[in-house]
Structure 1
């Protein structure tokens, strides 16, 4: 391993950057955290002091133009992900963007194509791909250890907005609040779709049901409860191109802790369940069974599957993002194959769009290859 370091600039230093992105860069010995940027200069300077960034910007364009910055991390509000990512691509910088890259698939596919044309690498912030338990399952499927795959079930459900007085964030100003607004299928479903695609291959067709359960909520930045019909929960069925079957469920109002992700895979030789739920100081568990020994047992993965300096008691945002950052930095510096790119984000959004259409038209929707 060489001593070469990657110059990184992070745009956005608020909560998620502070507890996930920036700790990942600080912990990686091959990262030179060149700069941070935030519209709030005080917040940016505090982040620079905390995580060791050498420069502070309040203008994203200036960070992107900095010749020492080789990779740009976009950790900003959703509507800014695509334009900032495109600016970085145009400047010849590698890009990590929080998800979603865009709330429609076509612009995300375009961004992926532009990155390829520019010869830069991309990664989308699908945090849960970097769970050690999830990565074990993906490798077990790919190697054939679980045999022919019959069923893949994905859940992301927690009680984040079970309390109507807990402020709901990121409701678009122009949203039609008297109509069902896709929400859990976008915020949570995109993660599940990515995991289910990565593990089981391409989706063939989907059908879904979306529902609002709590019609009045407090919305961040507004006074009192407001009537807003977000999709609190979505249930979907999946027909894989391989012939496997899948189910998907997202919920903002299911009792339980964060992040509330569970993936279950059943094959001809065995089965595995990854449960990514922070409980009793453990962030995840992995259970496995075979057709001969069909009582599920806990599988403890070796320390080598964890990012250096972490344990399963490390808070999940930092645990998984340290892994994500380490993979992306090493992909760039060592010219490794890309994984979890903007193209994956575009395909996930394409399937989110299909689930929404399936609900609205009450029918199965085929996924274009």
Structure 2
């Protein structure tokens, strides 16, 4: 793409757009924020005024059809991600979608194939790939600093919904209330699985257990407490295709601060622990040890690893999303290789599906092979 600037249109002007997506576009010197769309016109106007968007829409189809919009950002409830993304692809637009693209893998693979056929680029909002600590960890694996990788442990756990009166969001309309509804493994687990797959390679097989700990809770948009068996804790074992062993845990109710992501990698030459947890004014920490010096020491992330205008004191949604936006815009404008695409989202969902099946059938489940 030869254009020096990228016209962006955002659909969904809720809190996450305000905290993460829109600051990323505002900070990128080669982005023109063309339009903001929301079913609430006042909300759309407020976000457009705050971040300098030129147009306001209440109909996503009109935003997608706008010739000045070259890339569409889908920042809406989960069940709308796929239809809006498919509409953007059909309209010849590059598209960034919040995760998950769909709660089943097959439709996500289909969307990835449609994007490739249309010649447009995609990115999934896997925020934590764009943590400076995680990207440093990835480089240590790639350059052999950690040696042969033996174990990868991943956790995404915080007490965001430990209080049953804190409204739970993203419950699909019409979800059954009489059986376990996979939730933390989808909302949190998809992030974690993407990180573990990006760092360690393809998953071979999984075994798992899922549980509802708090059966009565407030659901956003519904009156009072509701009896709903939301899966608010899951644990899985992973056998990687290359022989690495893995373990992951997701939880809505484990005491700790948001976002609660921790990745531990153990290799033949060394080990590292990245904690993406807002604590004492710092967004993340990274520690490193070697086989000769086994006590973990802090590793300082240099300013060159941070998005321009940020520090490790920048709130993590803005810190990571500035990086995500910068990568996607640069991939489009500079024709760089794609990273973290709809295909990666489909692979993550495929693993989520396998973890759910493993729990339901109380067995190891093998992952099918899909070529990129």
Which category describes the TM-score, using the shorter chain as reference length?
Answer: over 0.9
Q: CA deviation at 1:129?
A: 0.2
Matches within 5 A, 1:319-334: 319-334=319-334
Alignment of 1:13-162 (within 5 A): 13-162=13-162
User: Following the alignment from structure 2 to structure 1, what is the Cα–Cα distance between the partners of residues 160 and 29?
Assistant: 35
Matched, 1:169 2:169: yes
Tell me the C-alpha RMSD between the 2 structures.
0.9
Mapped partners of 2:326, 2:212: distance in 1: 38
The answer for the alignment partner of 1:232 in structure 2 is 232
Q: For the Cα contact (< 8 Å) 2:79–2:172, is it kept in 1? A: no
Aligned to 2:302: 302
Secondary structure (helix, strand or coil) at the match of 1:198 reads: helix
Tell me which residue corresponds to 2:342: 342
Matched, 1:254 2:258: no
Whole-angstrom CA distance in 2 between matches of 1:262 and 1:171? 26
Distance in 1 (alpha carbons) for counterparts of 2:121 and 2:175:
33
Which residue is 1:360 aligned to? 360
Question: 1:85-127 CA deviation, whole Å, 9 max, x = no partner?
Answer: 0111111110000000000000000000000001100000000
TM-score, structure 1 length as denominator? 0.99
For 2:356 and 2:345, the matched residues in 1 are separated by 17
Q: Which stretch has the larger CA shift, 220-229 or 233-242?
A: 220-229
The runs of at least 4 aligned residues of structure 1 exceeding 6 Å deviation read none
Distance 2:26 2:187 in 1: 27
Separation in 2, partners of 1:114, 1:173? 27
Distance 1:272 1:264 in 2: 6
> Any idea what SS the aligned residue of 1:259 has?
coil
2:100–2:345 contact (8 Å) kept in structure 1: yes
- Secondary structure (helix, strand or coil) at the match of 1:17 reads helix
Q: How many residues align?
A: 368
SS of the equivalent of 2:236 reads strand
Give how far 1:3 is off: 8.1
Q: TM-score, normalised by structure 2?
A: 0.98
In 2, Cα distance between equivalents of 1:365 and 1:244:
16
- The CA distance in 2 between the partners of 1:16 and 1:337, in whole Å, is 27
Task: Give unpaired runs (5+ residues) of structure 1.
Answer: none
Indicate if the aligned counterparts of 2:23 and 2:51 stay in contact, CA closer than 8 A: yes
Report if the CA contact (8 A) 1:3-1:30 is conserved.
no
* Structure 2 unpaired stretches of 5+: none
What residue in structure 2 maps to residue 242 of structure 1?
242
Are the aligned partners of 1:10 and 1:74 in contact in 2 as well (CA < 8 Å)? yes
Per-residue CA deviation, residues 172-199 of structure 1 (Å, 9 max, x unaligned), is 2321112010000000000000000000
